[in-house]
């Protein structure tokens, strides 16, 4: 794999997506304050991505306290930030080439928990080079989080990023594991430690505002058919929000598409003990002598 051309158009678009994303993440994080609307921050960030020349790779995730992933505001959401632990998880694509990043904005006074995931990410990135086992990266994450007296969330992982694929191989565990795979030059991976003051596992809640296409199919209902056309044209296989659909009664349309096996939903994931979760994430390209972080602030 040493002959991979890291200057090719594919990697340049990954870098462009990362540069846009770093700016939007930092600007969006500054907008997270007590009393500010979740929906306002999400829509601002998604619009800003488009202004800078990218497209959202998935709906902006705004996870609060025990929520770990897949939470995004509904179209009529009137939630505002309180004294919360807030995780912003944002993605950008340029022609289907992706970058993924996350940051915790702590309004709750638990700065040590936020620091644990951030320092774990730094330690993980330092281990990245061709040939390193993903289990070694997980061990570096686990060691830092354990050192703070917290637990990594063990059933969430980092992941590879493909063309129009938000989650692909390899998985990057958040703890030491014996069975893993070796990174290669040219791999594009998102590393995302989650730290919690709970037991370290998440499970699915009831809320579901994010969906993705499974397969195209014949749809009789007019609204559902229009929704499917927009999904295929605009989002392809990437996740999208209910609030992004330009159809009447989008929730009803999605229920029909889900019932037919055309789309699947992403339930909000919550820490099983109801405890706080922090998150930090960067996207990296594996290079000959280590890695390049595409989502680091310029």
The answer to the question of whether 221 is labelled as a binding residue is no
Which of 112, 129, 146, 167 is the catalytic position?
167
Which of 84, 89, 136, 271 is the catalytic position?
89
The answer to the question of whether 273 is labelled as a binding residue is no
Which of 159, 187, 209, 282 is the catalytic position?
159
99/97 Cα distance (integer angstroms): 7
The answer to the question of whether 264 is labelled as a binding residue is no
110 given a catalytic annotation: no
135/173 Cα distance (integer angstroms): 7
The answer to the question of whether 187 is labelled as a binding residue is no
246 given a catalytic annotation: no
126/137 Cα distance (integer angstroms): 9
Helix intervals (H) in the chain:
9-31, 38-51, 111-127, 134-147, 222-230, 250-259
43 given a catalytic annotation: no
The answer to the question of whether 100 is labelled as a binding residue is yes
Which of 19, 46, 100, 271 is the catalytic position?
100
Which of 66, 192, 197, 271 is the catalytic position?
192
How many residues are given for the chain?
Answer: 298
Asked if 265 and 240 touch (Cβ cutoff 8 Å), the reply is no
56/92 Cα distance (integer angstroms): 5
| Mode of pairing for the β-strands spanning 240-241 and 188-191 | unpaired
The answer to the question of whether 110 is labelled as a binding residue is no
The answer to the question of whether 159 is labelled as a binding residue is yes
163 given a catalytic annotation: no
167 given a catalytic annotation: yes
Reduced to 3 states, what is the DSSP secondary structure of residue 228? helix
Residues marked as catalytic: 89, 100, 159, 167, 192, 281
As annotated, the binding site for a divalent metal cation includes: 89, 100, 159, 192, 281
As annotated, the binding site for substrate includes: 70, 167
As annotated, the binding site includes: 70, 89, 100, 159, 167, 192, 281
């Amino acid at each position: 794999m040493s002959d991979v051309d890291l200057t090719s158009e594919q990697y340049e678009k990954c870098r462009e997506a990362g540069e846009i994303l770093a700016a939007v993440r930092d600007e969006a994080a500054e907008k997270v304050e007590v009393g500010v609307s979740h929906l306002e921050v999400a829509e601002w960030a998604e619009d800003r991505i488009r202004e800078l020349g990218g497209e959202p790779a998935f709906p902006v995730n705004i996870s609060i306290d025990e929520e770990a992933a897949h939470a995004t505001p509904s179209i009529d959401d009137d939630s505002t930030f309180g004294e919360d632990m807030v995780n912003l998880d944002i993605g950008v694509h340029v022609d289907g080439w992706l970058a993924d990043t996350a940051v915790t904005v702590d309004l709750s006074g638990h700065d040590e928990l936020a620091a644990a995931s951030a320092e774990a990410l730094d330690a993980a990135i330092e281990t990245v080079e061709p040939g390193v086992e993903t289990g070694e990266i997980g061990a570096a994450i686990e060691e830092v989080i354990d050192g703070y007296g917290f637990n990594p969330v063990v059933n969430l992982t980092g992941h590879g990023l493909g063309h129009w694929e938000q989650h692909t191989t390899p998985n990057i565990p958040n703890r030491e594991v014996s069975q893993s795979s070796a990174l290669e030059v040219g791999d594009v991976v998102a590393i995302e430690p989650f730290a919690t003051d709970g037991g370290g596992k998440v499970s699915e809640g009831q809320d579901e505002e994010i969906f993705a296409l499974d397969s195209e199919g014949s749809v009789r209902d007019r609204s559902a058919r229009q929704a499917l056309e927009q999904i295929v044209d605009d989002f392809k296989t990437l996740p999208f929000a209910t609030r992004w659909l330009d159809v009447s009664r989008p929730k009803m349309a999605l229920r029909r598409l889900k019932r037919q096996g055309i789309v699947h939903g992403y339930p909000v994931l919550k820490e099983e003990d109801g405890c706080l979760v922090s998150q930090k994430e960067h996207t990296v390209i594996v290079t000959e002598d280590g890695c390049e972080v595409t989502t680091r602030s310029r």
